[in-house]
Amino acid sequence: MGNHSKREMLGAVGAGIAGLSASLYIAKLGIKTHIFEKRSGTEVDGVGIQLTPNALYSLAPLNVLDDLIAESFFPEKLIVSDAHLPGQLNSIQLKGEMEHKYGFPYLTSSRNLLHKILLKRANQESLIKISFNSKIISTKDENAVICKTDLGKNLSFKYVLVCNGITSKFTSHDSNIRLGFSDAKVLRTCLSGKDLPLGILKNINLWMGKSFHVVSYPVNNESDLNVVIVKKNRGPLGDKKKLENELLNPRLLSVRNQNLTYLLKGVTSWSVWPLYRTGIITRATQIYSRNSLYIGDAGHPLYPHLAQGAALALEDSHTLYKLLHRCRSDKLNISKVFQNFAELRIRRYQRMQVESRLNGYIFQQQGILRFIRNILVKNFGPKLMEKDWIYENRNISRI
Ligand SMILES: Cc1cc2nc3c(=O)[nH]c(=O)nc-3n(C[C@H](O)[C@H](O)[C@H](O)COP(=O)(O)OP(=O)(O)OC[C@H]3O[C@@H](n4cnc5c(N)ncnc54)[C@H](O)[C@@H]3O)c2cc1C
């Protein structure tokens, strides 16, 4: 890389998982990043996160795995059940098996922890500057990218990474990636793991119901259980009481599964989130322009039903690093790298977007389709749950 490129400073919008991990990777190449974050502090929303082998593979070169693993949990199995039937339909082994097959384990952790670890590393890195309380309200991409803050400042960067997550209106306006509210809500809570049966506490559980599904997994080193319900509901977000009445009463949901009944009894309150309906990316040009690149949720909003949002954001950062590293001996043409990146990644984004949406349908089937689904899961469960195309390192980006 020539001296000119080394002095280059990239701008980044958003100090989330994508913004922090990308800046850490870019610092490895001797390039500075200035991140603008609208929040004032370090706390991020959300409770649990599943970190699959591809996420850990993408994190490993940042030397943060030891800190992460020390406070995370290795779930034994992924257990799939029908919420309206006793017992389980099928399960796959995660602990030991994932590491053996893909070189990295399957962890459950907290989003705050991952964020805290990345932020700590970024704060130690002299090539990364983070400005909190700095909301970027627009970017204009000409010869340079002009980022305008909500305080009226104009900041100019030759290149900008847009990593401001799924909800930013600014992103959806700028990138043509359509976003709206879906006909479902996400409810999350955290239960104390103290009195929970081991079948619940040691595993990732998925209960598929008619027009809802529930996922639970241990977080905070097994002391708590993260519970997420995705429920069809068109009402306004404020209609929390109605949702709670339905969800805190397993009888109204016709829940017959013992473990799920037990779990729901322990819940006293929820936080309700909207579920965004996302479009599918159709062209690589939707995520890059000459001087900017959209990564993480900003570039490829994803339904949570495949547990891959953060993993994809980490993959983005690692892939960008590998592409920049490959050109290090030439005069670095970052615009070309942005284009290569988008062309290389788009197929994977599309497949993730389609499959995560499909999972949402499959998990909430009713009638004959539910019956067929259950037969398939019972007889071919492990085969259907195998996700080599997601977890295998060589499928992330063939560079
Ligand atoms: C219910 C649910 C469950 C999930 N479970 C999983 C899971 O198990 N596994 C998994 O891999 N993923 C999961 N995800 C997805 C994961 O949390 C996200 O995909 C991931 O956080 C994306 O990272 P990001 O950096 O792109 O965006 P974010 O983490 O959202 O970060 C964006 C940052 O940009 C900042 N920002 C926004 N706008 C501006 C602006 N205009 N100016 C400056 N700053 C701005 C925000 O404050 C934020 O800090 C889940 C998501 C949901 C909703």
Domain boundaries, the chain: 3-180+278-395
Distance between Cα 14 and ligand 1 center (Å): 9
The string of DSSP codes covering 95-127 is TTHHHHHHSS--EEEEHHHHHHHHHHHHHH-TT
Distance between Cα 164 and ligand 1 center (Å): 8
Query: For 23-36, what is each residue's pLDDT tens digit?
Result: 999 999 999 999 99
Q: Largest Cα–Cα distance in the chain?
A: 67
Give 185's pLDDT tier (boundaries 50, 70, 90).
confident
Report the pLDDT value the prediction gives residue 1, as an integer from 0 to 100: 41
Query: For 352-379, what is each residue's pLDDT tens digit?
Result: 999 999 999 999 999 999 999 999 999 9
Nearest atom, ligand 1, residue 275 CA:
53
What is the CATH T-level fold of the domain 3-180+278-395, as seen in this structure? Answer: FAD/NAD(P)-binding domain (3.50.50)
Mean per-residue pLDDT of the chain: 88
More confident residue, 270 or 15: 15
Report the pLDDT value the prediction gives residue 108, as an integer from 0 to 100: 96
Q: Which residues contact 146 (CB under 8 A, 6 or more apart)?
A: 139, 140, 154, 155, 156
Report the pLDDT value the prediction gives residue 222, as an integer from 0 to 100: 67
Task: Pick the range with the lowest mean pLDDT from 109-113, 266-270, 323-327.
Answer: 266-270
- Indicate if ligand 1 lies below 6 Å from the C-beta of 165: yes
Among 49, 151, 217, 237, which is best to mutate for testing ligand 1, by the most ligand atoms less than 8 A from CB?
A: 49
Per-residue pLDDT at 386 exceeds 70: yes
Report the pLDDT value the prediction gives residue 172, as an integer from 0 to 100: 46
Q: What are residue 183's DSSP bridge partners?
A: none
Nearest CA to ligand 1 atom 29: 16
Nearest CA to ligand 1 atom 49: 16
Report the pLDDT value the prediction gives residue 399, as an integer from 0 to 100: 67
Query: Of 111, 119, 103, whose CA–CA distance to 72 is shortest?
Result: 111
Nearest atom, ligand 1, residue 39 CA:
47
Per-residue pLDDT at 285 exceeds 80: yes
Task: Pick the range with the lowest mean pLDDT from 7-11, 304-308, 333-337, 353-357.
Answer: 7-11
- Indicate if ligand 1 lies below 6 Å from the C-beta of 21: no
Question: CA angle, 61 as apex, 167 and 32 as ends, to 5°?
Answer: 65
Question: What is this model's ipTM?
Answer: 0.95
Task: Pick the range with the lowest mean pLDDT from 26-30, 186-190, 341-345.
Answer: 186-190
